[in-house]
Amino acid sequence: MTFSDGEGRLYPAWSFLLAALLSVLAFFACAYFAGAVTGTHPLRFEVVFRSCLAAVLLAAYSWLLTIANFVDSHRLAAQGFPIAPGWFRHLAAGLAFSFVLVAVGVLAIALIGKLSFRFTFGVHTLSRVLFVLMALLAGSLAEELMFRGYPFQRLVEAVGSGGAIVVFSALFALAHLLNPGATLWGLINTVVIGVMLSVAYLRTRALWFGLGFHFGWNFTLGVIFGLPVSGIRLFNIVTHASASGPLWLTGDSYGIEASLPGAVAVFVALAIVLRLPLRRLHPPLPLEPVESTVEGSTD
Residue 97 lies inside a defined structural domain of this protein: yes
* 109 belongs to a structural domain: yes
User: Does residue 171 belong to any structural domain of this protein?
Assistant: yes
- What's the pTM value of the predicted model, to 2 decimals? 0.91
For residues 157 and 22, is the Cβ–Cβ distance under 8 A?
Answer: no
Note whether residue 292 is domain-resident.
Answer: no
Supply the pLDDT for residue 288: 64
In a domain, 116, yes or no: yes
3-state secondary structure 72-119: CCCHHHHHCCCCCCCHHHHHHHHHHHHHHHHHHHHHHHHHHCEEEEEE
Q: Please report whether residue 135 resides in a domain.
A: yes
Average pLDDT of adjacent 10-residue blocks, the chain of 299 residues: 73 94 97 93 94 98 91 87 91 96 95 93 86 96 97 95 96 92 93 96 93 97 96 94 94 94 94 81 63 44
Q: How far apart are CA 102 and CA 54, in angstroms?
A: 25
Residue 178: what pLDDT? 86
Q: What pLDDT shows up at residue 290?
A: 47
Give the helix, strand, coil percentages of the chain, each rounded to 5.
Answer: 70, 5, 25
Domain span at residue 140?
84-275
Residue 23 counted as domain residue? no
- What domain count does the chain have? 1
Nearest to 99 by CA among 248, 239, 265: 265
**d(Cα 250, Cα 171) in Å, to the nearest integer?**
25
Predicted local distance difference test score (pLDDT) of residue 209: 95
Task: Give residue 292's pLDDT.
Answer: 44
178 found inside a domain: yes
